[in-house]
Amino acid sequence: MKEFEKGFIELATDFNVLRFGEFKLKSGRISPYFFNAGQFNTGKAIKTVGQLYSQKILDSKVEFDLLFGPAYKGIPLVTAVSSALSDHKDCQFMYDRKEVKDHGEGGNLVGATAEEIKGKRILIVDDVITAGTAIKQSVDVIVKAGGIPVGVVVAIDRQEVGSNNSAGEQERTSAVMDIQKTLNIPVYSIVKLDSIIEYIEGGYGGEKYVAYLEKIREYRRVFGV
């Protein structure tokens, strides 16, 4: 296991961002673990997260002009990532509103203006990919604004079948694979489900997480790729 992966998982468990139990996901699946980036709720934590995202982006060598963070959890993430990147690349960022504003500047986008978005290469910053639905919605927002989606960076890739697959299919593709194929953009993640399993198997989190291993493996058998 890479040191930065271990460090990220430790940070996520310390802040209850990564929890184990029984959770219903947006996709409707019942998962034995849950990732909630909203719990990175201190200045030091979000600063560290921004630095980890920034390092992943720099390592990927993806070329972009703007960062986009989908509401709501993507908003603090894209802000922290933009700040962390500023020593290497001072770029604009933007995010969307769930509700369209009908006064002031109006619209559903905040940050970069409509003129600044058109024709620009935009990198999406989000917390997690499960079925890929939220990422496809972000791509739609960017395209409608005249931007060009060039990639996605997330904290965790759950390595699950995409919304175009059923869990029983013989040749299943992950949500990440679906996005890369249908939208023709790359997806980068700080950690994957495999990293979490390796973390628990290695005893890094102590005995308290070992009890969930079998349920996580079974979940991966049903929904994983």
Neighbour count for residue 34 (Cβ, 10 Å): 16
219 in helix, strand or coil?
A: helix
CA 189 to chain centre: 7
**88 part of the active site:** no
**103 part of the active site:** yes
* Paired tokens of 129: 């990919």
Minimal CA–CA distance to 12: which of 213, 191, 203, 197? 191
Catalytic residue among 101, 144, 181, 208: 101
Catalytic residue among 44, 61, 98, 103: 103
Look up residue 160 and give its DSSP letter.
B
Kind plus residue range of the DSSP H or E element containing 153: strand 148-157
Rounded-to-integer distance, Cα 135 and Cα 141, Å: 10
Residues with active-site annotation: 101, 103
